[in-house]
Amino acid sequence: MWQRYHARPMSLDVLVWSDDAHARGLPAEAAAHHPYGIAATIRRGLACVLGQGVVTTAAALADDDEGLPSERLAAADVLVWWAHEGHAALSDAAAERVCEHVLGGLGLIVLHSGHNSKVFRRLMGTSCDLNWREGDDRELLWTVATAHPIAAGVPHPVELGPHEMYGEPFDIPAPDELVFVSSFTGGEVFRSGCCFVRGHGRIFFFSPGHETTGVLANEHVRRVIANAAVWARRPLARSEARRLGRPSSSAAGG
């Protein structure tokens, strides 16, 4: 006889990594917005949107194994990456470890200045350079892919208020899906929400997230990051990914 099980859906396990050492060392103007660190702000946003559907953990560069032990990466469904000053301090071994886990199916959300991280650059295979300006530009976030799950419930456009300008050209491979573009008071435009697939892993780059503004607490930014975490969740059971091995389409660069 068939039995139907109504088990609670398993929570999404999200590891939120930052280079700010859990708020130690953040400049005062950033600490005012992130009194418990940037990872804490991001975790709060995920919890507000996803409630009991998500379990989050903070990790930082200053932690053991640079906050990125292989066992923790293997257990997580999604890794959220926020870093600014610490790109060079991350060891090549840790960056390589993260890339291997992403190719094996770990979802990755790279926020804001994470475009310049070793992890993102390796996975893209390009410099990931862009134009930027810190000023009082107003950023508008425009939805390009209105039916994409990451855009669900996100108004069009979202006004993000004064925010650091990121502008084209952005040296990345053509995204598999472009979900958002941004425009700025200065006239610049930017591909601000980009999806990629590398190996078994789904990657979402999202540019809002400058540390001296309250943008990471913006309700719509929270919604985008939460939608992205759901979208980026491991598509395969770990055992299945191991059985299939690394796909030949993997594009980790040097």
Question: Which residues are near Zn ion by CB under 5 A?
Answer: 113, 164, 210
211 with 84: CB under 8 angstroms?
yes
Nearer Cβ to Zn ion, position 135 or 247?
135
| Cβ nearer to Zn ion, comparing 41 with 113 | 113
Q: How far is the CB of 190 from Zn ion (least distance, A)?
A: 13
Nearest-approach distance from CB 147 to Zn ion, in angstroms = 30
Q: Which DSSP state fits 53?
A: G
How far apart CA 125 and CA 151 sit, in angstroms, is 26
Residue 247 CA to its chain's centroid (Å): 23
Name which of 210 and 223 has its Cβ closer to Zn ion: 210
Smallest distance from Zn ion to CB 164, Å: 4
State the Cα–Cα distance between residues 240 and 163, nearest whole angstrom: 42
Provide the b/e sequence for 118-150 (b: ≥16 CB within 10 Å).
bbbbbbbeeebebebeeeebebbbebeeeebeb
Cβ proximity to Zn ion, 12 vs 141, nearer residue: 141
Give whichever of 143 and 207 is closer to Zn ion, judged by the CB atom. 207
Least Å distance between CB 211 and Zn ion?
A: 6
- By beta carbon distance, the residue nearest Zn ion is 210
Cα separation of the two ends of the chain? 54
The distance of closest approach from Cβ of residue 40 to Zn ion in the complex, given in angstroms and rounded to an integer, is 18
Minimum distance of Zn ion from residue 113's CB (angstroms): 5
Specify the residue, 113 or 227, whose C-beta has the smaller distance to Zn ion.
113
Asked whether 75 and 11 are in contact (CB, 8 A), the reply is: no
Whether the upstream peptide bond of residue 157 has omega within 30° of 0, thus cis, is yes
**Which stretch of DSSP H or E encloses residue 56?**
strand 54-60
